[in-house]
Amino acid sequence: MRSTIACLVLATLFPLTVLAQVKARLPQGPMTPAWDKGIQPISRESYWNAVECGKQGGQRPLCVFYDADLCKNDDYTLALFTPYKQVAYEVWQAVRAKQEPPTPSYGDAQRTRITLGVTPAAGAKNPLTAVAIKRGAQVVKPATQSFDGGGGRFIFDFAAFAPTSPIIIEMTGKARTVSCTVDPSILSKFR
């Protein structure tokens, strides 16, 4: 009886962090124009590929919104902001508004790093406390981070998302941790 009470007291004082594991998935359908180099600093090739991506228009072209439901779970939704997406999104907005496609600033895209946005899922009660990327035994913490409304924005350097080996995006909340495994085949499709 005493050991049961002691266990209950310890469980109340030091709750266990439950680990939810998910696997990253990309949306179904072809992503055009083709891209298999992963997220990189903007280059002449990636800039013009992003412009072509944005010119597709439509409601949600996969080449711009490939990260929708990337690591689907009950606690958080993820969004990536990259130099490629900066260019593609600007062009897409103009095309969607039936305007002439702009020529986005190459210099602005060169200064852009990778931002991982984490937003609480509808009805979630697990405010975010930390984000890290694991590659094997190495842990990559964000260069900068800001928390807001149970989620946050985390800026990483390009090497964190290189399609060389699997990564785990670890989102630690107050109630539990959600880990999302991203295979190199998926990392290579990131833009």
pLDDT at residue 175, as a whole number: 96
DSSP one-letter string for 125-170:
---EEEEEEEETTEEE--SEEEEETTEEEEEE-GGGG-TTS-EEEE
State the pLDDT at residue 136: 94
**Per-residue confidence of the chain (191 residues) as pLDDT tens digits?**
555 444 444 444 444 456 789 999 999 988 999 999 999 999 999 999 999 999 998 999 999 999 989 999 999 999 999 999 999 999 999 999 999 999 999 999 999 999 999 999 999 999 999 999 999 999 999 999 999 999 999 999 999 999 999 999 999 999 999 999 999 999 999 99
pTM: 0.87
E-state strands within the chain:
18-23, 76-81, 114-120, 128-135, 138-140, 144-148, 151-156, 167-173, 176-182
Which pLDDT does position 18 carry in this prediction? 63
Q: Which two tokens stand for residue 132?
A: 């890290």
Q: Of 115, 121, 58, 60, whose CA–CA distance to 84 is shortest? A: 115
Taking alpha carbons only, the member of 181, 183, 180, 179 closest to residue 164 is 183
Residue 10: the pLDDT is 41
